[in-house]
């Protein structure tokens, strides 16, 4: 694993030890960032099922200002900390060990909104619709923001979740990407 582009291009990243985490392939990561970027002038991202932290670190390399990494696995958190340290990004990140639903509740209390939210949960334990509803209902996404969902290609996500609509989808082997944006407030 490596950083694909930006000021950290080519920097190696460690994967989470064991088989519990499935890293995003370089092809999917490159496609994902070409869709949403490919480069940024600031912005805050949430990497909710962060794993190794590769998606958030890629975003920082490409110009995002800050990323909050969340994962419930102890080894994943240690891997994120090591990758962040090796990339000298400590001042641009927050890293928390928590499950997704509790983490979202904590973020709601902080009254924080994100430009980008990465959702890449383990394929066999997905609660994506519930998480999308929570994000939408609590306005965790800025009005022009995007939610990038990486999921099993066999999982069919709804076209709309409240004010969110699926703007784009793509399939890469067993992996699918769904990009959600908020419908402009006051319209339907």
Q: How confident is the model at residue 173 (pLDDT cuts 50, 70, 90)?
A: confident
Tens digit of pLDDT for each residue in 87-137? 999 999 999 999 999 999 999 999 899 999 999 887 665 689 999 999 999
pLDDT at 124: 61
Q: Is 172 helix (H, G, I), strand (E, B) or coil?
A: strand
Given a cut of 50, is residue 187 above it in pLDDT? no
pLDDT at 188: 44
> In angstroms, what CA-CA distances link 96 with 4, 35, 83, 182?
25, 27, 15, 26
Tens digit of pLDDT for each residue in 22-45? 677 788 898 899 989 899 999 999
DSSP annotation of 123: G
pLDDT at 137: 94
pLDDT at 121: 86
Given a cut of 50, is residue 51 above it in pLDDT? yes
Domains belonging to the chain, first-starting first, are: 27-174 (3.40.50.150)
pLDDT at 152: 86
Given a cut of 90, is residue 18 above it in pLDDT? no
Dig out the tokens for 71 from the structure: 């994962």
Tally DSSP H helices, then E strands, for the chain. Answer: 5, 8
- In order, the DSSP letters of 84-95 are HHHTT-GGGEEE
């Amino acid at each position: 694993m490596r950083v694909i582009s930006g000021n950290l291009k080519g920097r190696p990243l460690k994967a989470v030890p064991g088989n519990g985490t499935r890293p995003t392939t370089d092809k999917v990561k490159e496609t994902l960032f070409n869709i949403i970027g490919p480069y940024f002038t600031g912005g805050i991202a949430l990497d909710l099922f962060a794993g190794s932290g590769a998606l958030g670190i890629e975003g920082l390399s490409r110009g995002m200002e800050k990323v909050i990494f969340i994962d419930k696995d102890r080894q994943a958190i240690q891997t994120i900390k090591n990758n962040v340290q090796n990339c000298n990004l400590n001042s641009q990140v927050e890293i928390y060990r928590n499950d997704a639903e509790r983490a979202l509740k904590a973020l709601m209390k902080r009254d924080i909104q994100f430009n980008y939210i990465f959702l890449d949960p383990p394929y066999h334990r997905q609660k994506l619709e519930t998480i999308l509803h929570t994000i939408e209902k609590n306005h965790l996404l800025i009005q022009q923001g995007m939610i990038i969902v990486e999921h099993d290609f066999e999982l069919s996500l709804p076209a709309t979740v409240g004010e969110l609509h699926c703007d784009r989808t793509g399939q890469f082997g067993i992996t699918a990407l769904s990009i959600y944006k908020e419908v402009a407030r006051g319209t339907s």
